[in-house]
Structure 1
Amino acid sequence: MIRLLMWGLLIYIGYRVVVALTKGKKTEIKTSGKRDAAATHRDPVCGVYVSEEDAVVGRLEGERHYFCSMNCLEKFREQLDHKPS
């Protein structure tokens, strides 16, 4: 009886390992497609690339600019204020 339980346990563990390995490959394919689909923009101040979801958006003459943080947005505004007209 104990041998039967041991064999059942080993078969169950083997099954779970196989399922885990096959699921891991499928999720890698799905997530790689999502990463490519996300639009990224370069911060004009520090040069970091940010996704549209995480970016701080500023507008200048109707054009959108994407920043990694409020600090970069403020630096951008200061640069515009100090430009000669």
Structure 2
Amino acid sequence: MIRLLFWCLLIYIGYRIIVSLAKGKELRSGRSREREQATVTHRDPVCGVYISEEDAVIGRLGDERHYFCSRTCLEKFQEQLGHPSA
């Protein structure tokens, strides 16, 4: 009877170890997916602040996109293009 309880205890402990290892692998794979989905940032050409694509104000110059932190920086950029310096 004691041997049966001992074997049941060992089987239960083994089961718990396997389950905890499986959960650890799931957590590690979830972290790698988060790294893959990291947001892309761009540098504002006027003030130099880094801004994510989701939060940026986008301006176009020909086929090229420029990312700005605010509408004010976009307007300053457009003014610089309209009034070239000496």
TM-score (norm. length: structure 1): 0.58
- What residue identity is the alignment partner of 1:66? Y
Instruction: Tell which structure's C-alpha radius of gyration is larger.
Output: 2
SS at match of 1:33: helix
Q: Note the C-alpha offset of 1:33.
A: 2.0
Q: Distance in 2 between matches of 1:44 and 1:31?
A: 31
Q: Note the C-alpha offset of 1:30.
A: 6.6
Aligned to 2:66: 65
Distance of aligned partners of 1:39 and 1:74 in 2 relative to their CA distance in 1, 3 Å threshold: same
Identical-residue share of aligned pairs (%): 64
- Correspondence 1:39 to 2:40: yes
SS at match of 2:42: strand
CA deviations over 1:23-70 (Å, ceiling 9, x no partner): xxx5xx479626x62110000000000000000000001100000000
Which runs of 5 or more residues in structure 2 are unaligned?
A: 1-26
Aligned residues: CA RMSD: 2.6
Give the number of aligned pairs. Answer: 60
Which runs of 5 or more residues in structure 1 are unaligned?
A: 1-25
Q: Which runs of 4+ in 1 moved over 4 A?
A: none
- What residue identity is the alignment partner of 2:71? M
TM-score (norm. length: structure 2): 0.57
- What residue identity is the alignment partner of 2:77? F
Aligned to 2:50: 49
